[in-house]
């Protein structure tokens, strides 16, 4: 009965990059499009600057710098996977701007990468932004269209 009056926590994620939102179901990689690791959206970037979509802590940066994990104080886990199959580039074209265990605010720089190099190497720069612990999510409202890094909300999460 007490939970009836408890307001659920809402978290808004801002776009970590400038570009165009693509529904996760349309990402040309089944791991993401079939939501095997979680749900979210992807962005087709127009540049290579990546900022934090939330206030939180950097929990993971893959050695090849192609993916970053973040967690909010509420425990929401977010994966930014920069490009598709970009692990195969072994870090070429990626420049880390933060480190694991760093506390970040929305808009803080995380990474830079070269989308042109990614394409030249035969990979896609499409970047999924995924919630990996969907068991914490009661409701996920996704936005669409063009987004500017650090300004537009890409999705709103109501925690369960």
Q: Which of 40, 61, 69, 81 is catalytic?
A: 81
Is 133 part of any domain?
Answer: yes
What is the separation of C-alpha 22 from the centre of its chain, rounded to a whole number of angstroms?
12
The domain in which residue 105 lies consists of: 8-159
Distance, first Cα to last Cα, the chain: 16
Percent of the chain, pLDDT > 70? 96
Per-residue pLDDT tens for 45-86?
999 999 999 999 999 999 999 999 999 999 999 999 999 999
Q: What is the pLDDT confidence band of residue 8, given thresholds at 50, 70 and 90? A: confident
66 is catalytic: no
Report the number of distinct structural domains present in the chain: 1
Distance CA 76, CA 74 (A): 6
Is 89 part of any domain?
Answer: yes
Is 3 part of any domain?
Answer: no
- Which of 83, 85, 62, 77 has the alpha carbon at shortest distance from 19? 83
Is pLDDT above 60 for 6? no
Is 76 part of any domain?
Answer: yes
In degrees, to the nearest 5, what angle opens at C-alpha 140 toward C-alphas 14 and 84?
A: 65
Per-residue pLDDT tens for 119-143?
999 999 999 999 999 999 999 999 9
Is pLDDT above 50 for 40? yes
Is 1 part of any domain?
Answer: no
Q: What is the domain-level CATH number for residue 32?
A: 2.70.70.10
What pLDDT is attached to residue 5? Answer: 52
Is 2 part of any domain?
Answer: no
Is pLDDT above 50 for 31? yes
């Amino acid at each position: 009965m007490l939970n009836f009056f408890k307001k659920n926590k809402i978290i808004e994620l801002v776009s970590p990059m400038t570009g165009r939102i693509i529904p996760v179901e349309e990402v040309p990689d089944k791991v993401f499009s079939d939501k095997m690791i979680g749900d979210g959206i992807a962005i087709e970037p127009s540049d290579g600057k990546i900022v934090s979509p939330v206030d939180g802590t950097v929990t993971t940066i893959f050695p090849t710098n192609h993916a970053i994990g973040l967690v909010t104080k509420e425990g929401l886990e977010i994966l930014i996977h920069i490009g598709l199959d970009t692990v195969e580039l072994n870090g070429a074209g990626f420049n880390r701007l933060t480190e694991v265990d760093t506390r970040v605010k929305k808009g803080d720089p995380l990474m830079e990468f070269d989308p042109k190099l990614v394409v030249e190497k035969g990979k896609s720069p499409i970047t999924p932004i995924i919630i990996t612990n969907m068991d914490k999510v009661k409701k996920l409202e996704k936005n669409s269209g063009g987004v500017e890094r650090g300004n537009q909300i890409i999705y709103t999460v109501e925690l369960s």
